[in-house]
Amino acid sequence: EKGGYEHFMIKEIHEQPQAIFDSLRGRLDPESLNITLSGLDKIKDKLINARRVIIVACGTSWHAGLLAEYWIEELCRLNVEVEYASEFRYRNPIITSDDVIIAISQSGETADTLVALENAKAQGATIFGIVNVVGSSIARISDAGIYTHAGPEIGVASTKAFSAQLTVLLLFAIKLAEFKNSTSEEIRKQLTKELSTVPEKVKYILDSTIENIKVIAKKYQGATDFLFLGRGYNFPIALEGALKLKEISYIHAEGYPAAEMKHGPIALVDETLPVVFVATKDRVHEKIVSNMQEIKARSGKLISVVTEDDQLAISLSDEHIKIPASHEMIAPILAVIPLQILSYYVGIERQIDVDRPRNLAKSVTVE
């Protein structure tokens, strides 16, 4: 059942090229670069005229939502808010029939997300579901949606469901930008083309980084804390890297926007603290490189995920993991892969039951 792998988690990490490919199949035509999303067509007018989009989710799915906010705002010039379902449902939020709610859920059964949607629906909002489990409660309550085609995810820590969510959310943003005419055709086509190459790039990352990451995991598995830093499109990935490590290794980890460091967390930095930088080349790259210098000056240990030709970032780092160059909006989908692998091997080093970490359930059906 684990297909020769030791754990479901590592099997599912390896299934990501397929999960992403399956989530694109029939939706992105690699020849014409046209995108077809029947779920989106169904509420096209609602979306074009929406006052704002509110994304509701929990945990890893919330991180996918945070990245979607950056994508949708950039490409569609539409207001997006991202909400933890548990906060949203108890806060008496202002919702109107001009709002579209995007619900993101692997299981489709997360209680807080489901009840938040029921409330929003009662107030007239349109619900768009991005769900992995077909026919689940959240799928059924949605007015329209797009399924992620990640296949069953057994490991408690979400991996392939996350990359499938990102895939579908980026497809959504590009298609909505087409409807709204808010991004040039040239940029949309470029993104679509690059998105079609993500499965092979993820495969390349799996083939080329694991041995190096195993060594890094062994070296840092005794740390008591980790910091994960990113900016822009890579900030949600820093949060996800920290969550994954906490769940699977029981090491305390925090994700932070790299520039927020100097407003407090930099006080934690000393020679015992590994700091993971998600630092692929993008519009804020120069900024994150100076954040790396700040950590280095305080003797923190720099582990960075970098674009493969980035000599400067590599020279600053104690350890580096190289990923292929890509459009800055695509890079986060690639950058999360090494962080999943890192948490898996740190968990293994620490002899944790990575498929069933303590205190966690695969699907949180109680609040």
362 is catalytic: yes
Angle subtended by helix axes 16-24 and 160-180, to nearest 10: 30
Q: Which amino acid is at 295?
A: I
- Parallel, antiparallel, or unpaired for β 99-105 and 52-57? parallel
Q: Side by side, which strands form the sheet with 144-147? A: 80-84, 52-57, 99-105, 126-131, 144-147
- DSSP string of 146-185? EE-------SSS-SHHHHHHHHHHHHHHHHHHHHHT-S-H
Question: Which CB atom, from 230 or from 324, has the smaller least distance to ligand F6R?
Answer: 230
Dihedral pair phi/psi, residue 9, rounded to 5°: -60, -45
In the complex, the smallest distance separating the C-beta of residue 284 from ligand F6R, rounded to whole angstroms, is 26
Q: Pick from 303, 315, 291: which is nearest to 209 by CA?
A: 303
- For residue 234, the Cα-to-chain-centroid distance in whole angstroms is 9
Question: Which CB atom, from 23 or from 192, has the smaller least distance to ligand F6R?
Answer: 23
Contact between 72 and 191 (Cβ < 8 Å): no
In the complex, the smallest distance separating the C-beta of residue 109 from ligand F6R, rounded to whole angstroms, is 7
In the complex, the smallest distance separating the C-beta of residue 107 from ligand F6R, rounded to whole angstroms, is 3
Question: Which CB atom, from 184 or from 365, has the smaller least distance to ligand F6R?
Answer: 365
Question: Which CB atom, from 82 or from 157, has the smaller least distance to ligand F6R?
Answer: 157
Q: What angle do CA 233, 251, 282 make, to 5 degrees?
A: 15
In the complex, the smallest distance separating the C-beta of residue 152 from ligand F6R, rounded to whole angstroms, is 12
Tell me the residue nearest to ligand F6R as measured from the CB.
Answer: 59
In the complex, the smallest distance separating the C-beta of residue 247 from ligand F6R, rounded to whole angstroms, is 6
Euclidean distance between CA atoms 146 and 50, whole angstroms: 18
Tally the C-alpha atoms within 13 A of residue 42's C-alpha that lie toward its C-beta.
13
In the complex, the smallest distance separating the C-beta of residue 26 from ligand F6R, rounded to whole angstroms, is 23
Question: Which CB atom, from 103 or from 330, has the smaller least distance to ligand F6R?
Answer: 103
| Residues forming the site for ligand F6R (CB under 6 A) | 58-61, 105-107, 110, 113, 157-158, 243, 247, 363-364
Cα-based distances in Å from 136 to 108, 127, 132, 367 = 5, 14, 9, 17
Question: Which CB atom, from 112 or from 319, has the smaller least distance to ligand F6R?
Answer: 112
Euclidean distance between CA atoms 293 and 101, whole angstroms: 40
> Would you please indicate which residues are annotated as catalytic (active-site) residues?
362
